[in-house]
Structure 1
Amino acid sequence: MIELGDPALTPVPAARRPGGIRKPLAAVTLGLLALLGGAVPHPRPPAVTVVAARLGESTFVERDRLHIVSGTGYQASGPRERTVSTYSLPGGRLLFRSTVALSGTVYQVTSSGRTLLVSYQVGTVGTEETTAAVMAGTRQELWRVPALLLTVSPDGASALLLHRAGNLPGDVTWLGLTLGTGQRRWSLTQPVAGYTTAAAYTGGFPRRLVTVTVDGHIEVHDTVTGRAVATADVPAPVEWSRRGVTAWPAGDLVLVGGAGGVTAYALSDLALRWTGALDLAGRWIQPDCAGAVCLIGYRAGIQVVDPVDGAPRWSSERWTSAVPVGPVLLVTGGGGMEARYPLAVVDPATGTLLADFGHWRVVSDVRPDVLVCRRTDASVAIWPL
């Protein structure tokens, strides 16, 4: 509301000159426009794109594509052809439909160039898994191997897979394949008395595999060629032979140890960096923790140490997960008896709370420009952000 004054008290000019009232009216008009500017409707957000899907169909989101797989349940009669519809993100435009023979629950669907890859469980029990590759938009099968697809190299040349013949360490074999042909480049079986882990991630693809045995032998292999790029024999505590040994990547380090402490080695040449009395029992190490080394446990909380010398930085029982977002950490926690699951941002160097988002939860990685949700009628909605 604008107060224009009492008309009875406003002097009336003796004679109107042409245009004499235009300036006051113009000023009032500008004032009204300025005050009403906040009431002007903002442009509506882009309309949601809805992609048709049915109950029983599964969705898989990757980078700039959405995959919908028809009929993903187990069929007792064996493999049958299923359709994989691939849509663009964020536009939701149908790119192609591919046909692939599957016999069990689908674990993963990914694409690289004109190659579509589907990993699925064979049967309803056990750990037998298979990956099939087809020419995208066709039913032409390129290759099929009894292994689970882990990831594809950024250049689309190599695929890293895992074959599990059972539940024991010696039943696990890592495979490197040429993506276009399925030709095996190399294979590495995890030692029965040892542990193998992926490290040095670039664009979601690990460039190294690290294997450590309970007798102190460490090997680092290139995941593209399979060639050993570094080897070392290190002191092996007695606890390793009794309770096992693990290896965890952390930036340019690999941390080797168990309940009796941890030793950090340079991933490039396995040079000794530091040794610390850190207990890995019931904990895991975040591979990338915004320049820090983060040990995390559901009950023990988070413990952060300096990657240079292993010196403790800070710890908190409140946080039970940490994800790097630029120079800071996005953390969540269990909240103890309060049953709270806060979402917050902390400084990785000091643990200082920078922002608290309350009860919001992170459910998965989502692209920064699109939100993909399954609706109650089974269709898939795509919202540009």
Structure 2
Amino acid sequence: MSVSVIDLGDVSSLPDEPEGYPGGRPGFGRVRVGRLAKAAIAAVVTLVAGGSALPGPPVLREVWSVPTSADESMTLDADSVYLHRPGENGTELTAYDLRTGRVRWTRPIDTGPSWFGATPQHGVLLLPGDEQTIEVKSPDGGMMGYSYSGSLTALDPATGEQLWQRPGSQHWADTGETLLMYERDRTGTLTWLRQVRMRDGSIVWERRAPAKADTVEVLFDDGTPNRIVTAGPRGRLTVLRYTDGTEVTSRSLPWQKVSYNTGVGSSLGAVKGRLVVVDTGLEGNIDRSRVTVYRADSLTPLWSRETNGWANVQDCGPLVCLSTAQGLFEAVDPETGARRWAMAGSPFIGTVADGERLLIPGTDDEPEQTLVDAATGRVIGPIAAGGLMSMDDEEGTATLLRQLDPTTSVLSRIDTDTGRSTVLGVLPAGDQVFCSGSGRRIVCTLGDRLVVMTAG
């Protein structure tokens, strides 16, 4: 195999910082990046030998940075980076202009620990808070404690002004104009369900949760939520309309409460507008699971499959992906469960190109991504090295990060049309490296700094 040397470019010569550079001179700066780039040439050559297509020189350039720490959380949207900073005198949320690093606003908040974070969503910034901790008894007598948010606050992302605040937790499903919230009591039992308007928090509808329900799931129809399903510890499932909370049907299904010691028990999920119940630990064998798919409106079964190991079921474009053994999965018809194609890979699959393609993670110690056609399983382009950091559907790209040695990681981008990957640049490796992206900008926490870079 012939090996080409990749020109890393002169990454020690970066553009001038914008006026009012935040945080002073960055620790991850010109000299440090230049030395890391030169030290990583051999490692990048190794990556080329692995078969990745790496056209052109790297295009990663630092724009601005600010200090950060391990107990802070970061999120971003198309315009801003938001840092949630707990401190001795309380917690602050700061919004930085994504392009320049200018502080747009800072406000004190009382929403709980930083792991709650902040979520930009359809023109508002949502902050979970009022942390609640409960203990739940499992069937084998063990006790399990877990935490959840007891309130939700919405801010204007442009100004930081509070728009509304309500008790309860947010479900991740929404319509863009409304979102679903729910409340629990001290035992973890659901007490109230309500749908509120995203911008002003006004109530569209609210109702008491079905009796003794402790689990809630949302089903979708062509990307729009249309049914809410709740489940109780004895398998009583209730289906509600998403638009107004009206009950559609209710039925008891075979159900086993989850043991927090072994993981054996029943869990609820949703794929392609259908309800999924996963039973782990069939007949006491933790290495056997059953997946049963039900119609949403009648709770009548469509198909059922037994699998080896822990079952995982998820949307895979037009099909449903079902893990069948360690490192193996099948893409099946959502209505019948009939197999369409199969391959090896991790069950945590990313959908790109509006569901037409999939990114299949590898199962080896070295992370990699395989781009495939969702309908047929046909592999598109070469295997790309790295773990998935972020996806950008508008750009048609996904950003990957791979640690090359104890001191160096490489950041690359894969084209989700062709499967070709391009090295963007090198970063210092470490446990605190985390990257996300918005358009042509890459945002990484690198040890004690948050660094914003351009890519292209």
TM-score normalised to the size of structure 1? 0.66
Q: CA deviation at 1:193?
A: 6.4
Q: Distance in 1 between matches of 2:324 and 2:309?
A: 9
Residues 297-376 of structure 1: matches in 2 within 5 Å? 299=326, 301-326=328-353, 327-335=356-364, 339-365=365-391, 366-376=437-447
Native 8 Å contact 1:160 1:177 kept in 2: yes
Native 8 Å contact 1:231 1:270 kept in 2: yes
Native 8 Å contact 1:127 1:166 kept in 2: no
Name 2:178's counterpart in structure 1. Answer: 158
Name 1:87's counterpart in structure 2. Answer: 97
Question: Structure 1 regions of 5+ residues with no counterpart?
Answer: 1-41
Native 8 Å contact 2:154 2:163 kept in 1: yes
Q: Deviations over 1:132-171 (max 9, x none)?
A: 234455575443334343448454x323335454575x25
Aligned CA distance change for structure 1 residues 72 and 172 (closer, same or farther; 3 Å) = farther
Higher relative contact order (CA 8 A, sep 6+): 2
Aligned CA distance change for structure 1 residues 360 and 71 (closer, same or farther; 3 Å) = closer
Name 1:186's counterpart in structure 2. Answer: 206
Name 1:108's counterpart in structure 2. Answer: 117
Q: Deviations over 1:179-199 (max 9, x none)?
A: 344344325647646742122
SS of residue in 2 equivalent to 1:177: strand
Q: Distance in 1 between matches of 2:372 and 2:124?
A: 41
Q: CA deviation at 1:344?
A: 1.0
Q: Which amino acid aligns with 2:369?
A: L
Name 1:208's counterpart in structure 2. Answer: 227
Q: Which amino acid aligns with 2:383?
A: F
Greater than 6 Å deviation, 4+ residue runs? none
Q: Distance in 2 between matches of 1:45 and 1:159?
A: 39
Q: Which amino acid aligns with 1:227?
A: T
Residues 113-124 of structure 1: matches in 2 within 5 Å? 115-120=124-129, 122=131
Native 8 Å contact 1:48 1:384 kept in 2: no
Q: Deviations over 1:22-63 (max 9, x none)?
A: xxxxxxxxxxxxxxxxxxxx9996954214344468453344
Native 8 Å contact 2:73 2:117 kept in 1: no
Q: Which amino acid aligns with 2:127?
A: V
> Which of 80, 86, 93 is the equivalent residue of 1:66?
80
Q: Distance in 2 between matches of 1:45 and 1:244?
A: 49
Question: Structure 2 regions of 5+ residues with no counterpart?
Answer: 1-55, 134-144, 259-263, 283-289, 392-436
Native 8 Å contact 2:182 2:191 kept in 1: yes
Residues 18-29 of structure 1: matches in 2 within 5 Å? none
Q: Distance in 1 between matches of 2:147 and 2:330?
A: 34
Aligned CA distance change for structure 1 residues 277 and 117 (closer, same or farther; 3 Å) = closer
Q: Which amino acid aligns with 1:277?
A: R
TM-score normalised to the size of structure 2? 0.58
Aligned CA distance change for structure 1 residues 281 and 126 (closer, same or farther; 3 Å) = same
Q: Deviations over 1:195-228 (max 9, x none)?
A: 421221777x744322345777543334453333
Q: CA deviation at 1:331?
A: 0.6
Aligned CA distance change for structure 1 residues 280 and 44 (closer, same or farther; 3 Å) = closer
Give the share of equivalent positions with the same residue, in percent: 18
| More strand by percentage | 2
